[in-house]
Amino acid sequence: MPNKTLSRFTTSICTAIGVGFLFTACAHKPNPWRTVREPLKQKAQVYGTVNAGCLVGAESLIEMPTLEGENAQGSNLPKFEVMRPSRNRFFAHPSLVAYVTALSEKVYRKTKKYLLIGDLAQPRGGPMGDRGAPTAHSSHQTGLDVDVWFESSKYRLALEERENRRARDLVNEDHESMSSYWNLKYQSMVLKTAANFETVDRIFVNPAIKRELCIHSRKSGVRADRENAWLAKVRPWWGHKDHFHVRLKCPLGNAECVPVGDPIPAGDGCDETLNWWFSDEAKQLIAERAATPPEFKMPELPAACEQVLPLLTHH
């Protein structure tokens, strides 16, 4: 494939549209990945990293029966609800669809509750943000990331509730103490279940949540060894007060999938690296991030991603 970046690709699209349209539609080089509605039907393949990549052969998480009320209790129905479906961010690599399905089944068997699933990826992956429409996601570009709400539901949700329901923060505004919605027994069970899948690379949670898990681990007398290996995968990160973010490993057979991030260190992560998140330095950075949200910047994607979007110059 030609050795070009998506930035050149986007420029060529804008030029091809025509001079009369150029200044109104392309002066800001709109993000074309946001407009695609359907996946590219090929063998599933990930290109690039979760922060700069794309996807072919994605599967939809909502192409399953979705009933409401008493008729929604069938044993063969998925044990999750897709939240904010109008965003069109419910596509993923088949390995992630299988993961969400299996995780929700495990949690349902233990609790009789349905997991609430947030963003996965767009139909062909790629960046989600745009100028004037930034997004909290810099990742979620290859169909290997999924946001799972900490809150779950005892019943099937109507479409209106799935669109408008607000997730509840488990961490208070001081970024340290836990809110009344924190349930150690339930949340630790879900996180442990989620982390114990072999395909999981890591899970991001708010630092205060990680600290609560560490405190509970120490009180329980669990050592930082195989018995507690799942906790090592749970990593502290900005935000993530109302959901946890699961990232899978690169799937087998996806040679162009590039892992991102350093290998997880030995131990359970309940150490000085966790303590930093509650330092004055970290608090200052949190305040700065809140005061000045980052502007969206189009990443340079792998050359293969040029072939994943429909070229407007071909029409």
Higher pLDDT, 25 or 240: 240
Is the pLDDT confidence value at 291 over 90?
no
Q: Tell me the pLDDT of the chain averaged across its residues.
A: 84
Predicted pLDDT at 289? 79
Two tokens at 277? Answer: 């998140």
Share of the chain above pLDDT 90, in %: 63
Contact 50, 141 (CB under 8 A): yes
pTM value > 0.75? yes
CA angle 257, 263, 268 (to 5 degrees): 135
Predicted pLDDT at 287? 85
Residue 59's DSSP bridge partners are 92
Domains of the chain: 31-313 (3.30.1380.10)
- Written as one string, the DSSP assignment of the chain is -----HHHHHHHHHHHH-HHHHHHHSTT---GGGG--S---SS-EEEEETTEEEEES-EESS-S----GGGG--TTS-SEEES-GGG---EE-HHHHHHHHHHHHHHHHHHS-EEEE---B-TTB----BTTB--S-S---SS-EEEEEEEEESSPPPHHHHHHPPPPPSB-TTSSSB-TT--HHHHHHHHHHHHTSTTEEEEEE-HHHHHHHHHHHHHHT--SSGGGHHHHHEEE-SS-SSEEEEEEPPPTT-TTB---SPPPPSS-S-SHHHHGGGSHHHHHHHHHHHHSPPPP------GGGGGTSPPGGG-
Q: Is residue 286 classed exposed, middle or buried when 0-12, 13-18 and 19+ CB atoms within 10 A define those classes? A: middle
Is the pLDDT confidence value at 6 over 50?
no
Two tokens at 237? Answer: 């990160």
Q: Is residue 208 classed exposed, middle or buried when 0-12, 13-18 and 19+ CB atoms within 10 A define those classes? A: buried
Smallest Cα–Cα separation from 299: which of 87, 120, 129, 136? 129
User: Which positions ≥6 away from 166 have C-beta within 8 Å?
Assistant: none
Characterize the bridge pairing of strands 45-49 and 114-117.
Answer: unpaired
Is the pLDDT confidence value at 7 over 70?
no
| Each residue's pLDDT tens digit, 223-258 | 655 667 899 999 999 889 999 999 999 999 999 999
d(CA 147, CA 48): 20
Residue 266's DSSP bridge partners are none
User: Which positions ≥6 away from 221 have C-beta within 8 Å?
Assistant: none
Predicted pLDDT at 68? 47
Is the pLDDT confidence value at 22 over 50?
no
Average confidence (pLDDT) over 10-38: 56
The amino acid at residue 33 is W
What confidence category does residue 295 fall into, taking pLDDT thresholds of 50, 70 and 90? confident
- The single residue listed with the structure tokens 């994943």 is 308
Average confidence (pLDDT) over 247-275: 92
